[in-house]
Amino acid sequence: MILQHRSVSAVLTVAAFALWTAVILAALAGPALSAALGLPDPTAPMSRSFDPPSRAHLLGTDHLGRDVAARMLVGNAALVVPPALVAAAASTVGVLLAVWSVTSRRACAIIRFIGDTILVVPPILIILATVTAVPEGYVAAAVAAFALSVPMSIRYFYPTVAQALGSGYVEYARVTGASWRTIAVWDIFPAVRRSLIADFSIRFVAVVFLIATASFLTGTSSGADSTWAAMVGAELGGVDLNPWAVVSPTLAIIILTACPALLLELRMGGKR
- pLDDT tens digits, one per residue of 181-217: 777 777 778 888 888 888 998 899 888 888 887 777 6
Predicted pLDDT of residue 138: 66
The count of residues in the chain is 272
Predicted pLDDT of residue 195: 87
How far apart (Å, rounded) are the C-alpha atoms in residues 209 and 236? 19
Q: Where in the chain are the domains? A: 1-76+228-270, 78-216
Q: Judge whether 63 and 51 are in contact, CB under 8 Å.
A: no
How far apart (Å, rounded) are the C-alpha atoms in residues 257 and 253? 6
Q: Judge whether 14 and 27 are in contact, CB under 8 Å.
A: no
Q: Judge whether 76 and 57 are in contact, CB under 8 Å.
A: no
How far apart (Å, rounded) are the C-alpha atoms in residues 188 and 191? 5
How far apart (Å, rounded) are the C-alpha atoms in residues 253 and 212? 8
Predicted pLDDT of residue 135: 54
How far apart (Å, rounded) are the C-alpha atoms in residues 204 and 22? 17
User: Which run of H or E residues covers position 264?
Assistant: helix 244-270
Spans of the chain below 50 pLDDT: 3, 220-224, 272
How far apart (Å, rounded) are the C-alpha atoms in residues 253 and 23? 9
Predicted pLDDT of residue 172: 75
SS3 for 78-93 is HHCHHHHHHHHHHHHH
How far apart (Å, rounded) are the C-alpha atoms in residues 81 and 254? 17
Predicted pLDDT of residue 87: 93
Predicted pLDDT of residue 61: 93
Q: Which residues contact 145 (CB under 8 A, 6 or more apart)?
A: 82, 83, 86, 90, 206, 207, 210, 211
- b/e 200-209 (16+ beta carbons within 10 angstroms → b): bbbbbbbbbb
Nearest 5°: the CA angle 112, 116, 120 is 180
CA separation (Å) from 108 to 29, 61, 104, 149, 165? 43, 55, 6, 17, 15
Tell me the DSSP string of 123-161. Answer: HHHHHHHHHHHSTT-HHHHHHHHHHHHHHHHHHHHHHHH
